Amino acid sequence: GEEVAQTPKHLVRGEGQKAKLYCAPIKGHSYVFWYQQVLKNEFKFLISFQNENVFDETGMPKERFSAKCLPNSPCSLEIQATKLEDSAVYFCASSRRQANSPLHFGNGTRLTVT
Amino acid sequence: DQQVKQNSPSLSVQEGRISILNCDYTNSMFDYFLWYKKYPAEGPTFLISISSIKDKNEDGRFTVFLNKSAKHLSLHIVPSQPGDSAVYFCAASANNQGGKLIFGQGTELSVKP
């Protein structure tokens, strides 16, 4: 499609439960990025993909967070055993090229951990 | 460490006047800079970008200026319109970082009729 599609829009999980977020990048875009917005105006980079391959995972909390981008499927970000501090808006973005190319963002998934 | 900084959390401008949003960066490896606009409950929308080989890029009412020696960029919106009211983020990337963007903290622009 012409837009990055993120589902669900809202997700509520009890502490310790699993959360799974989905992202369909723009058709033809080979690069996918996940960001976490905890405070209102701070974007934290989590992970990026080139097609189905992890390119950069330096921002991922390795113990509980994982992500995949498999062929012919939406990309996913999974959080095992959620904690209160995982409450945030998670944005997915895609781009056509690796360098000097704007990222196009979805509208985010708001995760609330209670 | 905050590699991209927007020191003004908010800015209020009269409709029709110029809005100037500022951004400073510390990493001299950054070579591509962008401005995004964000409305509540939506994702950031790409506005305009500039490569480090240029010092100015213009698109309609939006102009981005880059001063590499000062590690400073700015976004000019003229004339400002009430629909421009949003949070504006500057972002930067380095060629060897795989397209990853580092964002500033945002400036909330309010354009008053």
Query: Could you report the per-residue pLDDT of B7-34, keeping only the tens digit for each?
Result: 999 999 999 999 999 999 999 999 999 9
Q: Give A-chain residues touching B99 at CB under 8 angstroms.
A: 31, 33, 48, 95, 97-99, 101, 103
pLDDT in tens, B47-99: 999 999 999 999 999 999 999 999 999 999 999 999 999 999 999 999 888 88
The pair of three-digit structure tokens given for residue A13, joined into one six-digit string: 């999980």
- Please tell me the distance from the alpha carbon of residue A111 to that of residue A84, in angstroms, as a whole number: 10
Identify from A23, A43, A105 which residue to disrupt to test chain B contact, counting B C-beta atoms within 10 A and taking the largest count.
A43
Q: Which tokens sit at B111?
A: 């354009």
pLDDT tens per residue, chain A (114 residues)?
Answer: 689 999 999 999 999 999 999 999 999 999 999 999 987 778 999 999 999 999 999 999 988 999 999 988 999 999 999 999 999 999 999 999 888 899 999 999 999 999
Tell me whether residues A55 and B41 touch, CB distance under 8 A.
no
| Angle of CA points B94, B23, B15, to nearest 5° | 135
